[in-house]
Amino acid sequence: MKKHNFSAGPCILPQPVLQQAAAAVTNFDNLDLSLIEISHRDKSFVAVMDEAVALVKELLNVPAGYSVVFLQGGASLQFCMVPFNFLKEGGKSVYLETGTWATNARKESELFGETIIAASSEDKNFSYIPKGYEIPADADYFHCTSNNTIFGTQMKAFPKSPVPVICDMSSDIFSRTINVADFDVIYAGAQKNMGPAGATLAIVKDSFLNNSGRKIPTMLNYETHIKKESMFNTPPVFAVYVSMLNLRWLKENGGVAAIEKVNQAKADLLYNEIDRNPLFKGSAAVEDRSNMNPTFLLTDESKKEKFDAMWKAAGISGINGHRSVGGYRASIYNALPLSSVQVLVDVMKELGKG
Ligand SMILES: *Cc1c(COP(=O)(O)O)cnc(C)c1O
């Protein structure tokens, strides 16, 4: 039996996607060649890249005037590419500090110029999303992290910003509807909700490019990749292919609005049990709870050994919390079915019985 995979990332992908990916590794597109041993310029692969980009645009309703590219280096390289491309010489950037990834992004900006923290939730170990802060109107951009994978918080709304908004959506892209026009740049490492590690999605407003006045190394310049349609150099063919299959799967299952409902039902099921069962408590502020990475703690640590044995016996994998929060984190990305959440909830109920 397959495990109930609650891993935070790399994470669960749908079974049919894995099966098609496995088949393509030995014989891709009836070429009698592997997907990973043909030229990326082969028309069979160019069609994959085109379909992946088209699916991103369709599923997220990307308006005209935006480019969609697949890059490498993970979301972590975006932390550097963002200020390199968009923080002007002598300008300033503004960051919302909501967790480890947000902090890592802000630190890269500091290498390039003045970097302001609009607000931070570090005072309470990033267990909430700051609100009511001001974004200076003379900043080059405002950067935020839509979902804090480690701490289990999620921005339910984005602030009205007088300056362009750049968002790291690594761990909740394609999980809920967003209005792309509210952002100038959206980026996401693939391995949380889109595909395997190795590809990074960036959605960039074309009119925002070429404003920093900096000399940008070729590979770190968004324009390079936009002009060459993600084929400036060899793209991560396997990661792009599997991402494309996963986006096809999402489309077949009704798209983002449909999966958002399922994701809400999964989150409600789990949080209801966390709140109902006196043996557990959530670690994030209730109004900021993530629908992707619910984090929770045992109220009675003496039950830990028993609980750990019970969920392992139930075929559950990957719910140990990140070391900076402790406790548990049950990541419930798109591909994880409601039935797997029910298995976890049943174990939690069982533990409560004695
Ligand atoms: C995992 C994660 C990252 C880091 O992604 P890499 O692709 O490993 O560099 C950045 N931001 C968020 C929100 C993440 O969840």
What is the spatial distance between Cα 11 and Cα 192, in angstroms, rounded to a whole number? 6
User: Does pLDDT of 62 surpass 70?
Assistant: yes
pLDDT digits (tens, 9 = 90+) for 237-281: 999 999 999 999 999 999 999 999 999 999 999 999 999 999 999
Confidence at residue 353, expressed as pLDDT on a 0 to 100 scale: 87
Q: Is the pLDDT of residue 170 over 80?
A: yes
Residues 44 and 166 in one domain: yes
pLDDT at 224 over 90: yes
Q: Are the beta carbons of 148 and 9 closer than 8 angstroms?
A: no
Do 245 and 266 share a domain, yes or no? no
Q: Could you tell me the distance, in angstroms and rounded to a whole number, from the CA of residue 105 to the centre of ligand 1?
A: 10
Q: Which range of residues forms the domain containing residue 195?
A: 15-252
Catalytic annotation present for 32: no
Please state the pTM of the whole predicted model. 0.98
Question: pLDDT by residue (tens digit) across 273-307?
Answer: 999 999 999 999 999 999 999 999 999 999 999 99
What average pLDDT is seen over the chain? Answer: 97
Task: Please identify, by atom number, the ligand 1 atom nearest to the C-alpha of residue 189.
Answer: 7
327: region left, alpha or beta (phi > 0 left; psi from -120 to 50 alpha)? left
Same domain, 271 and 243: no
pLDDT bin (cut points 50, 70, 90) of residue 211 is: confident
- Ligand 1 pocket test: pick from 82, 106, 171 the residue with the most ligand atoms within 8 Å of its Cβ: 171
The verdict on 268 and 189 lying in the same domain is no
- The answer, yes or no, to whether the previous bond of 236 is cis (omega within 30 of 0) is no
228: annotated active-site residue: no
> What is the C-alpha to C-alpha distance for residues 71 and 234, in angstroms, rounded to an integer?
10
| % of the chain residues with pLDDT over 70 | 99
**Contact 94/116 with Cβ under 8 angstroms?**
yes
Q: Are residues 165 and 66 in the same domain?
A: yes
Q: Of all protein residues, whose CA lies closest to atom 2 belonging to ligand 1?
A: 170
Catalytic residue among 140, 172, 184, 192: 192
pLDDT for 129 beyond 70: yes
User: Do both 149 and 73 map to the same domain?
Assistant: yes
252-289 in b/e form (b: 16+ CB < 10 A) is eeebbeebbebbeebbeebbebbeebebbebbbeeebb
Q: What is the pLDDT of residue 1?
A: 66
6 located within any domain: no
CATH of the domain at 194: 3.40.640.10
- Which of 227, 252, 277 is a domain's end point? 252
Question: Does the active-site annotation cover 311?
Answer: no
Q: How far is CA 159 from CA 133, 156, 175, 336, in A?
A: 9, 10, 20, 30
Statement to judge: residues 130 and 195 lie in one domain: yes
Predicted local confidence at residue 303, as pLDDT: 96
Domains in the chain, number: 2
Position 25 scores a pLDDT of: 98
Any domain includes 4: no
Q: Is 61 helix (H, G, I), strand (E, B) or coil?
A: coil
Q: Six-digit token pair at 170?
A: 């690594």
Is pLDDT above 90 for 53?
yes
Ligand 1 atom closest to the Cα of residue 191 is 7
Strand 295-298 with 280-282, pairing: antiparallel
pLDDT for the residue numbered 82: 98
Q: Flag whether 240 is in a domain.
A: yes
- pLDDT tens sequence across 132-151: 999 999 999 999 999 999 99
pLDDT score of 24 more than 90: yes
Statement to judge: residues 206 and 301 lie in one domain = no
pLDDT at 337: 97
* Nearest protein Cα to ligand 1, atom 3: 75
Q: Which residues line ligand 1 (CB under 6 A)?
A: 9, 74-76, 101, 145, 149, 168, 170-171, 189, 192
Question: 51: CA distance to ligand 1 center in Å?
Answer: 24
Query: Is residue 14 scored above 70 in pLDDT?
Result: yes
